[in-house]
Amino acid sequence: MKNKWTLDDWLNWQEMLMEETIVMGLDRVGIVYNRLFPNGVPYKVITVAGTNGKGSTVSFIDSIYRESKYKIGRSTSPHLLKYNERFAIDGQDVSDKLIIKAFELIEAKRENVTLTYFEFSTLAALIIFAEANIDLAILEVGLGGRLDSVNIVDSDVSVITNIAIDHTDYLGDTREAIGREKAGIMRTSMPCICGDQKPPQSLLSYAKQINTPLTLVSELYKNEIGLEGAHQKLNAAVAVKAIESLADQFPVSISMITEGVKKARVAARFEKITIGGKTVVLDVAHNPAAVEALINTLSEDPMETVAIFSALVDKNIDDMIELASETIKHWFLVPISAERSIDLESLKNKFDEPESTTVCLNMNSAIRQSLELNEIKRIVIFGSFYTITDASKIIKKFEH
């Protein structure tokens, strides 16, 4: 039966396979990984973890290597519009056919081992990259590090962008606890590049304990970059250090680095669209540290700004609102298509001034109402990946 399944069939089935969407731990996925790759994956690996900036850092690394002759695989999550966005080879998303073929192989090797949706995705990436005979894979960690399924692979370089408070139910509620989880992607004698400006002691101690050469990056990248915001200059600097740490095996020229950083693009990281003379900014900021970076980037070009906003109920929404409140003149609150989304009545109650909010029936209504405000020049849409996904599905129709 499964040999006739579409990609959607496979994904719907995977979502039903386990009741919990997130199950931390490497035991189950490790069994299947060892059946698929008894000698490990046949390519070099850079693993990227961190609370924020993972996707941007992966994009910088990928973009630099794409200036070279090396064949590069890139695995990221979550996707915004199409599942295929999770896997790219030399910058091109892979086909349904290749993903289905990988799923069929996983299913053949899985036997009685139950896997989550994300574990299927991780294993599929590794198979797709092996089949494509790539030189190097850049793997974005989904959640944490130590117990994330990406950590079944022994990386040649680990990257930790930063450590902030997020996913406390799974990772702990202090930077020390979270730092230890992120540090779990390090490997003995293999370089780790860290962009956190005040790394927790737990991370520093673990690096020392397992003899990981740790490079702390504090200087911003100096040249032109393809992504907006001062924080992206740090992400670019981290990406360059990661590439330099593999220079013996994968040398790249200074011009490749310069061009790659300049050309880097990543969806929904301060992504700007112009509609009817207004700037619409899409940003997946979904925790206080990311919102702070977003607001700092908005303040580089001050103008009257409104927000379309929603978030998941388990996020620190109060701090997100507080950080943005001075910059945002009015908030359009929207329902989002996620099980864990906050209900709009509860969200509205988080605002001290109820008149500063408009509760909208749906994303379409929120975008339409915000575009109708003549005096407003900029609309920022943020709060969750789900918020951006919902907006991305319909925003094109407003451009015409």
Q: Judge whether 40 and 153 are in contact, CB under 8 Å.
A: yes
pLDDT at 42: 98
By C-alpha distance, which of 92, 381, 74, 64 is closest to 225? 64
pLDDT at 17: 86
Pairing mode of beta strands 192-194, 72-75:
unpaired
pLDDT per residue rounded down to tens, the chain (400 residues): 677 899 999 999 999 987 776 777 899 999 999 999 999 999 999 999 999 999 999 999 999 999 999 999 999 999 999 999 999 999 999 999 999 999 999 999 999 899 999 999 999 999 999 999 999 999 999 988 999 999 999 999 999 999 987 665 666 779 999 999 999 999 999 999 999 999 999 999 999 999 999 999 999 999 999 999 999 999 999 999 999 999 999 999 999 999 999 999 999 999 999 999 999 999 999 999 999 999 999 999 999 999 999 999 999 999 999 999 999 999 999 999 888 899 999 999 999 988 999 999 999 999 999 999 999 999 999 999 999 999 999 998 888 6
H/E stretch holding 47: strand 44-49
pLDDT at 1: 63
H/E stretch holding 96: helix 96-110
As a whole number of angstroms, the distance between CA 39 and CA 30 comes to: 13
As a whole number of angstroms, the distance between CA 154 and CA 150 comes to: 9
pLDDT at 400: 66
CATH of 2-263, one of 3.40.50.1370, 3.40.1190.10, 3.30.750.80, 3.30.70.980: 3.40.1190.10
pLDDT at 173: 76
As a whole number of angstroms, the distance between CA 213 and CA 364 comes to: 50
CATH, range 271-399: 3.90.190.20
Q: Is 275 helix (H, G, I), strand (E, B) or coil?
A: strand
Q: Where are the beta strands (DSSP E) in the chain?
A: 44-49, 72-75, 87-89, 92-93, 136-140, 157-160, 192-194, 214-216, 271-275, 278-282, 305-309, 328-333, 357-359, 378-382
Q: Judge whether 315 and 326 are in contact, CB under 8 Å.
A: no
pLDDT at 168: 59
Return phi, psi of residue 163, to 5°: -135, 120
Q: Judge whether 330 and 304 are in contact, CB under 8 Å.
A: no
pLDDT at 340: 87
The Cβ of residue 89 has, within 10 Å, a number of other Cβ atoms equal to: 19
| pTM for the predicted model, two decimal places | 0.95
Q: Domain coordinates of the chain in residue numbers?
A: 2-263, 271-399
Q: Is 184 helix (H, G, I), strand (E, B) or coil?
A: coil
